A and B are shown apart, each in its own frame.
Chain A
Amino acid sequence: MTRRTMKVGMLARVEGEGGMHVEVRDGRVEQVRLNIFEPPRFFEALLRGRDHSEAPDITARICGICPVAYQMSACLAMEDTFGIEVPEPIRLMRRLLYCGEWIESHALHVFFLHAPDFLGFDGGIEMAREHRGVVEAALRIKHAGNQLMSVVGGRSVHPVNVKVGGFHRMPTMVELTGIRPELVAARHDLLDLVPLLAGFDFPDLEQPHMYFSLGAEHGYPLESGSLVTSAGLHAPVSSFGEHVVEEHVEHSNALHARFDGANYVVGPLARYSLHSGSLSSLAAEVARAAGLGPTCRNPFRSILVRTVELVYALDEAVRIIDEWDGGPASVPVDVRAGVGHGATEAPRGLLYHRYRIDDDGSILDAWIVPPTSQNQPSVEEDLRLFVQDRLDLPQEELTLQCETAIRNYDPCISCATHFLDLTVHHR
């Protein structure tokens, strides 16, 4: 009997703290585990008894990388509870703020966390020693996203301007047009970098999983939409809990989410494969130039899909600014008891919130399902498929490729931890 173990104690270039454990016995992959040792923070428990109006700012603190996603899903869920549908200008301003988060988060992942794997560097800062121009351009793109978030939200980490019912204050036309040139310049920078990314050597891997995202009712899915899957389902957000069941799998310490009994994937690959027809013409052109078809099932190519989404977010931000015609900052919120659902597309995939609200407006209970916990079973399944076909690779190379395979998903362990059923693995 031969045994082989690949272990990474601490995964680098992911958000939060996790490790990986792959065990091979007699030529068969026996166990694949993403270990989560990020300590739990109990958000769903501490939200109980808080006022509904506090949920956007409190849940933002689940993740410093995608706070807007938490704020938006929380707002939609509260508004759903109270029977509010915000007017079009508020929806558009939310979409604009969300574009900023996609730009900032995708630029960080594409150029600083993921590209170093393909170019053979430890990280973006090391990459700058040989590719200074590339890293400087990437930093300018990221800066444009953060600036957009600062203009609309006040700051890029935990923006202050979002509230249930809309915004505290609409940005002025002067503020909006002020950010436009930087967005256009970032789009130029990005187009110049596409050939480099498209030229990476992508390992072969075909994902069998179902794809799940919001629908494209208002363009490529972002701040709103119903539920759509590659199995042909179209359903309202309120039916999320009827389809998604989190079950405890014996070999794993995490709750594994399944959609109607199947493994599934949320995030860029799912959004792109379900909705590539809703991209802007420039984003679609970039997708073709990068060699992507109408769908993409190779998780290693997710870096290209994120790049296409980056182009789209920059395009969409410029479009919203150009067409901006003003509007009220918020609508009044009349509190009533009930249950509300909200789902938006975080950079890493669909983020669902559900709250039960008392008649005084306080939260009775909360259920939050972040993208990384939904993807975790598929990440492990990908690793299993991937390793099985590459057992002849030297240990170091295989371990590195496994790490890359995990980073394909841009996992946000800080997000996932508070919801996963985990053991704390002491290193």
Chain B
Amino acid sequence: MAAHPKLAVWKFASCDGCQLSLLNCEQELLAVADAVEIAYFPEATSAEVEGPYDLSLVEGSITTAHDAQRIQHVREVSKNLITIGACATSGGIQALRNFADVEEFTSVVYAHPDYISTLDRSTPIAAHVTVDFQLRGCPIDRGQLLEVVAAYVQGRQPRIPTYSVCVECKRRGTVCVAVAHGTPCLGPVTQAGCGALCPSFHRGCYGCFGPQDSPNTQSLAARLIADGMSDLDVQRFFRTFNAGSEAFRAESQRHDPGPDEGDAV
């Protein structure tokens, strides 16, 4: 890689929060700008340096035919392509459409559904092009982002753990909210990275970082139901920001509520 690798930041369907995480590296931002050439980052600068780029950070999911073409172009001009965040990595909250009828969705929000050009599914970047590394989180963690950028600048693999949030809780010394208080928690099946934030605020993990490397979702779901959750609640629990990830999608589909439970009681 060149002395000043060229960095590009691309956006697809998303909330901007993950690329904001780069600007949120306040204490490191200028050092990053000294180490890499920020060649394309429209949210931060009007300047635009032509590709190819050594490192592309891609935020957002693919939800339109136009974006499905645009990501091919991004791949062509990128030596390394890293997805940042739950949208780019699993389809994001907008992947809830994958379980519904997108035409009906469109008619609920827009007065002229015929103006709307959208695909019936929200898909992760890796469903369209080869991805070199996927950084999880809704949003991503700043420290992990810096580690990934540093790793690619130095030509090594990023050191990002794939174990569960439980490990981070133990390391922090946080009392287990599930065991001690019976609070529903996705920590056992969710990948670490946030620093086990929610339990430190007396709240159960809600799965921002998606499934850990060997998630036993069935066992966790059985425990949640034994603790009093309904199938509908379990389905909702697995079906949020990483609803499109394989493990969470499959578990959510095991808990399709019956017609009685799905309806208002």
Contact = CB atoms under 8 A, between A and B. Distances in A.
Interface of A: 10-17, 37-46, 48-51, 54, 57-58, 61-65, 67, 104, 108, 112-113, 116, 122-126, 128, 132, 135-136, 139-140, 142-143, 146, 154-158, 160-161, 163, 167-169, 248, 253, 255, 358-360, 362, 365, 403, 414, 418-419, 421-424, 426
Given A45-B97, A163-B203, 7 more contacts: A12-B42, A12-B45, A13-B42, A44-B109, A46-B93, A414-B16, A421-B112
A149 B150 CA distance: 26
A108 B18 contact: no
Contacts of A50: 236
Q: Which of A41, A62, A116, A414 has the most CB of B within 10 A?
A: A41
Interface in B47-91: 47, 63-64, 66-67
Interface string B77-120: 00000000000000011101100101011101111100111100
A63 B16 contact: yes
Nearest to A44: B109
Interface residues on B, range: 35 or more
Given A161-B203, A169-B202, A360-B265, A65 B45 contact: no
B158 interface: no
Contacts, number: 205
B23 interface: yes
B129 interface: no
Nearest to B97: A42
Contact of A41 (B13, B66, B104, B117): B13
Closest 7 CB pairs between A and B?
Answer: A64-B17, A123-B45, A122-B47, A12-B46, A45-B105, A143-B26, A157-B139
Nearest to A143: B26
B110 A40 contact: yes
Nearest to B111: A421
B216 interface: no
Contact of A39 (B67, B105, B139, B265): B67
B194 A155 contact: yes
Contacts of B115: 253, 421-423
25 contacts: A11-B42, A14-B43, A17-B42, A38-B13, A40-B110, A40-B118, A46-B93, A46-B96, A46-B100, A64-B18, A108-B20, A116-B45, A126-B47, A139-B30, A142-B26, A146-B24, A154-B197, A154-B200, A157-B17, A157-B20, A157-B21, A168-B201, A403-B46, A414-B14, A422-B116
Residue among B122, B201, B233 with max Cβ neighbours from chain A (10 Å)? B201
A125 B236 contact: no
A125 B38 contact: yes
Nearest to B41: A123
Contact of B109 (A39, A40, A139, A157): A40
A39 B26 contact: no
Contacts of A126: 45, 47
A135 B30 contact: yes
Contact of B94 (A42, A132, A365, A421): A42
B117 A424 contact: yes
Nearest to B59: A64
B248 interface: no
B225 interface: no
A360 B264 contact: yes
Contact of A61 (B46, B93, B122): B93
Contact of A125 (B21, B44, B96, B110): B44
B1 interface: no
B209 interface: no
Interface string B1-22: 0000000000111111110110
B222 interface: no
A158 B21 CA distance: 11
Given A40-B118, A146-B24, A168-B203, A248 B265 contact: no
Nearest to A359: B264
B39 to A, nearest CB: 11
B33 interface: yes
Contact of B15 (A13, A61, A123, A423): A61
Nearest to B206: A57
B44 to A, nearest CB: 5
Contacts of B262: 49
A177 to B, nearest CB: 19
B238 interface: no
A75 B15 CA distance: 20
